[in-house]
Structure 1
């Protein structure tokens, strides 16, 4: 028996098993896709594919259901008519900021420099086009959600009723209208001032000439005195050069259609077709070839005014330079 076992072992070592025949590259690829011997498709059997498909269907169905539940709970807290947090309870607060148009993408001057050559028509057109773009919905009511059907012409004796809103007829503002090129070609550019919207905010007006703030410019005090008492409920706007040299170079300002934002535009409560009121400030005779720093300020008892290097509230700064 021992001799027989030994001879058998010797035979097995002498004749190793045959190596499988090598297969080509494309055959390997075909086998990786479908292996007919193990019945595997892309390395998995049908049972394995069914198991992993079942797992991911259950997993993503659970995620979708969880997302739908969270969204439904969130939507229950949202009011389509007004924001959840307003005025003192909101991040914006109760003091609106002031902005201006047109603006530029000039990074060096923070977008606040209006600079052009008064004899260069292409440069003038650039600024006019920027204002046309900003005033697009003011100029064409068809751009509004309700096609302007909710807008009415207002004044101090005819305020809006119910859900009506007051139109802002910028196309009737004379020298500061699009048809007149906003006076940029006359070296007397119009800059549009606006207050940021705050839901439900109602201004507290400076409407008593006897109780105006001491730091209010004399020119604005005179304008308030000249205004009909029935039309003094306005957020007044004043503009002037920031420094003595700027005041000399800026010349006089005119305001269109009036020197402030009238009361009949407030409060803002998500009315359809509502457009923020605007004041077009025109530099009548600014000095040429010199940089002029200008500050415009909004005046109301509940508008904070802060002006320092790190923060600005209740006013806006821009520069004008006409070559």
Structure 2
């Protein structure tokens, strides 16, 4: 795996596919040849888009140069957070000219929360023009994702035993 400007090239965003607009959009979302979902991430249909191993979500970034994103679990240090493409995308991913077929860059965030516990992951984009305010009255400058991963291994084992009888 090689790196280009600090981004693993296997993870880097490839050019949009050729063809009519509807086909390009569909192929960018799901490519039946590669059997990949959004084509730039290991989250594929055959591994339930990151489940059961770990959930993955995407943050879309618009019309900016280098923007850094940081995520954390404000209530616990037990949630592992990974940035497969890095914490931000270089400016070369933002050739926004309002062209037909332009797809905005997005950043993948992979988390490994504790099981049977509600995890809140707060993500902040770092830029001069983004005001960050974590007050309860007027929050701004971040997004909050809440996820609950249920441990159902006992349930799966019970079903397996019941089926084998």
Q: TM-score range by the shorter chain?
A: 0.5 to 0.7
Deviation (angstroms), 1:305: 1.4
Higher helix share: 1
Distance 1:143 1:184 in 2: 32
Match of 2:58 in 1: 192
Deviation (angstroms), 1:253: 1.2
Distance 1:247 1:290 in 2: 13
**Residues 202 and 279 (structure 1 numbering): CA distance in 2 closer, same or farther, change over 3 Å?**
closer
Match of 2:107 in 1: 279
- Structure (1 or 2) with the larger CA radius of gyration: 1
Q: Secondary structure at the match of 1:295?
A: strand
Match of 2:21 in 1: 144
Distance 2:107 2:17 in 1: 18
TM-score after normalising by structure 2: 0.62
TM-score after normalising by structure 1: 0.34
Structure 2 stretches lacking a partner, 5+ long:
1-14, 26-36, 151-165
* Mapping of residues 1-323 of structure 1, within 5 Å: 144=21, 147=24, 170-174=38-42, 176-186=43-53, 188-195=54-61, 197=62, 201-203=63-65, 234-243=66-75, 246-248=76-78, 250=79, 252-266=80-94, 268-283=96-111, 285-323=112-150
**Preserved CA contact (<8 Å) 1:294 1:317:** yes
Deviation (angstroms), 1:281: 0.7
Deviation (angstroms), 1:261: 2.6
Distance 1:260 1:286 in 2: 22
Higher strand share: 2
